[in-house]
Amino acid sequence: MSYELILTDVRGDGPLKAGVITLNRPKQLNALNDALMDELGAALKSFDADDGIGCVVITGSEKAFAAGADIAAMASWSYMDVYKSDYITRNWETLKSVRKPVIAAVAGYALGGGCELAMMCDFIIAADNAKFGQPEIKLGIIPGAGGTQRLPRAVSKAKAMDLVLTARMMDAAEAERAGLVSRVVPADKLLDEAYAAAESICGYSLPSLLAAKECVNRAFEAPLNEGMLFERRAFHALFATEDQKEGMDAFVAKRKPAFKQQ
């Protein structure tokens, strides 16, 4: 499938490869319009359905991961436009339905919907020039794709309130201290780091990756006891896989595992 507002690529040498999606509206700092979000959703679904893909990396440009939803496109919309068509938010939940791990590799601005998009990924690797923020308040609106919900869970209520109410930006170092990003790397090493993380992930057994992602996400949806039970069931279930035998046999035999992905 060909896309106009994103680029797609496949990287890696192993049986499982990484799907890479680059947001590509550089003149608008990757402002997220409906067409871009449609393409992003289609690419994500296609990688998720592809047996040869083990994880996905989403990135932008050096100047902007994404500067938010497209303000010019939204400016004239009425309440009925957005409510009836579910504009803007319509495409945003696709990312959450992806079962394989998704890494956000963020350089430059990740603002508004851009920050929300990054937070929907499983983890964020940030370039040292990254800037995160929820500046929607400046436009007379509020975040609409998780900024008021995922940000407090990621960085605490105090910092989320600070960002959402003042519209100030948080640099990469502050974002790492606050727990929003998993690591900060020099901007010119961002993609290398993200691809290396993707390559490690692609070296593991896909059934265990899917289960691990489901379980960690449960930690945010369920009470502790329910989450523990969910984890235990998934843990036990993995003993039904050939890959559990292979992984443990390989460790005991001091060789590299050759996962069968089942």
- Considering only the stretches 53-61, 86-94, 243-251, 254-262, report the one whose residues sit in contact with ligand HXC under the rule CB under 6 A: 86-94
Active site residue 114: no
Nearest-approach distance from CB 131 to ligand HXC, in angstroms: 8
Active-site residue flag, 113: yes
Torsion angle defined by CA atoms of residues 250, 252, 254 and 255, in that order, rounded to the nearest 10 degrees: -10
The least distance separating ligand HXC from the CB of residue 7, rounded to whole angstroms, comes to 19
Out of 21, 29, 130, 197, the residue judged to bind ligand HXC by CB under 6 A:
29
* CA separation for the pair 170, 180 (Å, rounded): 10
Known catalytic residue at 193: no
Applying CB under 6 A, which part among 26-34, 48-56, 224-232, 233-241 lies near ligand HXC? 26-34
Judged by beta carbon, residue 96 or residue 233, the one nearer ligand HXC is 96
Q: Considering the rule CB under 6 A, would residue 71 count as an interface residue with ligand HXC? A: yes
Residue pointed to by tokens 């069968």: 260
Range 105-164, binding ligand HXC (CB under 6 A): 109, 111-113, 116, 135-136, 139, 144-145
Residue tagged active-site, from 39, 116, 193, 231:
116
* Residue number with CB closer to ligand HXC (116 or 176): 116
Of 47, 92, 132, 195, the residue at the interface with ligand HXC (CB under 6 A) is 92
Output helix, strand, coil percentages for the chain, rounded to the nearest 5.
50, 20, 35
Closest approach, Cβ 29 to ligand HXC, in A, equals: 4
DSSP state at residue 6:
E
Give the binding-site size for ligand HXC (rule: CB under 6 A).
22
Residue 117 phi/psi, 5-degree rounding, is -65, -45
- Mark out the alpha helices in the chain (DSSP H runs): 34-49, 71-74, 79-85, 94-97, 113-120, 150-155, 157-166, 172-178, 190-202, 206-218, 224-237, 242-252
Query: CB-based burial of residue 149 (10 Å sphere; 0-12 exposed, 13-18 middle, 19+ buried)?
Result: middle
> What is d(CA 57, CA 115) in angstroms, rounded to the nearest whole number?
15
Question: What tokens does 37 get?
Answer: 């979000």
Minimal distance in Å, beta carbon 210 to ligand HXC? Answer: 27
Q: What are the residues whose beta carbons fall under 8 Å from the beta carbon of 246, sequence distance 6 or more?
A: 205, 257, 258, 259, 260
Question: Is residue 68 near ligand HXC by the rule CB under 6 A?
Answer: yes
Rule CB under 6 A: choose which of 8, 28, 129, 241 binds ligand HXC: 28
Binding region for ligand HXC (CB under 6 A) = 28-29, 31, 67-72, 88-89, 92, 109, 111-113, 116, 135-136, 139, 144-145
**Catalytic residue set:** 69, 113, 116, 136
